[in-house]
Copies of this chain bind each other. A is one copy, B any other.
Amino acid sequence: MSNLPPLKLSQRWHYASEQAISFLMQQAVENTDVVSLAAGLVDFASLPVKETREAALLLLSDDASARKALQYGTTAGSEHLRGLLLKHLARLEGTDVSGLGIDRNRLILTTGSQQLLSLVCEVLLDPGDICLVAGPTYFVFLGNLHGVGARTVTVHTDDDGMCPQSLDAQLAQLEQDGQLERVKLIYLVSYYDNPSGRCLSAERRGPIVEIARKWSKHQRILILEDAAYRELHYNGPTIPSVLSHDTTGDTVIYTQTFSKSYSPGLRIGFGVVPQELVVPLCDRKGNEDFGSANFNQHLLSRVLESGLYESHVEEVCLAYRRKRDAMLEAADREFSDMEGVSWVHPHGGLYVWMSLPKRLETGFRSELFQAATKQHGVMYVPGELCYAGPLSERPRHQMRLSFGVQSPEGIADGMRRLASAVRAQL
């Protein structure tokens, strides 16, 4: 190395540095021999090999269609796939495309739904702007908010998801504090939340849209509905989205992904956004990457058109249901005799959210985390990462347990290890 002066990185980078996700991944790298109940990856065995092979052959056996897929696409993504996604969304909402009433132009295809979350922050939020979030909430999105210098306000959340009364009260308080004009966003993981596994109840969905509108006094307050886990449901059909309550199409940004229900390796997510946001988001996305991989969009179109997708999702849900059941059974078996330990019973998604007695901290530097990873050979995501605000004010006695990656036997083993680690601390 020469003796050049140091790099001087941007303010933006300083906002974004020290993300929990980096530390978590470092922990995973340093502890490869543990049973991970932390990783947010999907089930390896049910990844759609034969479905993708069939779709790839369909796509690549015709020269003209293959070339279209190998050429540049548009920034907003394949029109054909966006049309198919409207049908797909209509089916999930229990209606048809005309009943859905959403124009194809309001759909934007992104590199996973993560990119949509990131783009919304970039286009909407200035440093000091406010986003209301559930407590707990998806910790990677907290990183996006910090990355643009936004502030977060936590809304009380129970087993039915974010509480409308608490949301309303927080907004009233913000108005009283002269901060309402900085509020721009309400973030919700509306189905089988990451990390809590909770589903926002059907009864709360309409009122939350109404509250966002009611407090849109200075500028529009948008709801960002993250429906990443919507299709992973194990007890009956899913309820209509928060988006479906936005009858004027100007309040809800909806995002969903094929990473959980099909393949994260294709990195295809999408957003349905208010018409006025289409151009700003596409301008920003154009600057970032000119559009996500066109080839993958054409491939997914074949998967959806051929009917391969629906049967695959059924398989995936069966596999995850078995794993969810394995984790809940193991929790009953291993933890039900421990006083002050409780957990959410999720009806979908990939996570069980467990609370320990309040005195028992679960963070990276806690005795429990150290003992769990170093002695008992098991890892989880510390619950404190999933809250906004200063660490000292967050609940610090919870854990996110993922049943996505491990086999049912691995889950049982991991839960046994975790129970030993917790018992030793009690």
Contacts and interface: CB of A to CB of B under 8 A. Distances in A.
A358 interface: no
A2 B250 contact: yes
B66 A13 contact: no
Contact of A71 (B47, B140, B249): B47
Contact of A296 (B217, B264, B283, B296): B296
A67 interface: yes
A5 interface: yes
How many A residues are at the interface, by size bracket?
A: 35 or more
A413 interface: no
Q: Kindly name the residue among A148, A216, A279 whose own CB sees the greatest number of chain B CB atoms within 10 A.
A: A216
B9 A123 contact: yes
B53 A184 contact: no
A60 B56 contact: yes
A63 B263 CA distance: 14
A236 to B, nearest CB: 28
A16 B67 contact: no
Identical subunits present: 2
A289 interface: yes
Contacts of A219: 5-8
B72 A12 contact: no
A5 B217 contact: yes
A213 to B, nearest CB: 6
A52 interface: yes
A279 B113 CA distance: 23
Interface string A114-157: 11001000111110010000000000100110011000000000
Given A2-B213, A49-B63, A49-B67, A16 B287 contact: yes
Interface stretch (A17-25, A165-173, A316-324): A17-25
A417 interface: no
Given A53-B60, A286-B22, A123 B10 contact: yes
B296 A293 contact: yes
A293 B276 contact: no
Contact of A60 (B7, B52, B125, B289): B52
Closest 10 CB pairs of A and B: A8-B219, A265-B295, A53-B60, A265-B294, A70-B265, A70-B263, A111-B289, A267-B293, A47-B70, A49-B66
Contacts of A276: 6-7
Contacts of A124: 7-10, 13
A298 B264 CA distance: 13
A372 to B, nearest CB: 23
Contacts of A17: 280, 283
